[in-house]
Amino acid sequence: MNSSSEDKAKGTAKQAIGAVKEKTGKVIGNPDLQDRGTADKVEGKVQQKVGDVKKVFGK
């Protein structure tokens, strides 16, 4: 797997994990877990964009 595809896959996984944490935190009333989930989702989106940039530049 090339670097750009790997970043995109990891970003997608991190977004999914973040969504689960966010919803779990909301359901159980744990704002810290909910915030960590939101942060993971954002990190995942950024990592996907890094993969897009690498693809454009052929890395």
Helices 3-28 and 31-57, packing angle to 10 deg: 170
Q: Identify the band that residue 59 occupies on the pLDDT scale cut at 50, 70 and 90.
A: low
pLDDT of the residue at 1 = 66
Average model confidence (pLDDT) for the chain? 93
What is the arithmetic mean of pLDDT over 8-28? 96
Give pLDDT, residue 18. Answer: 97
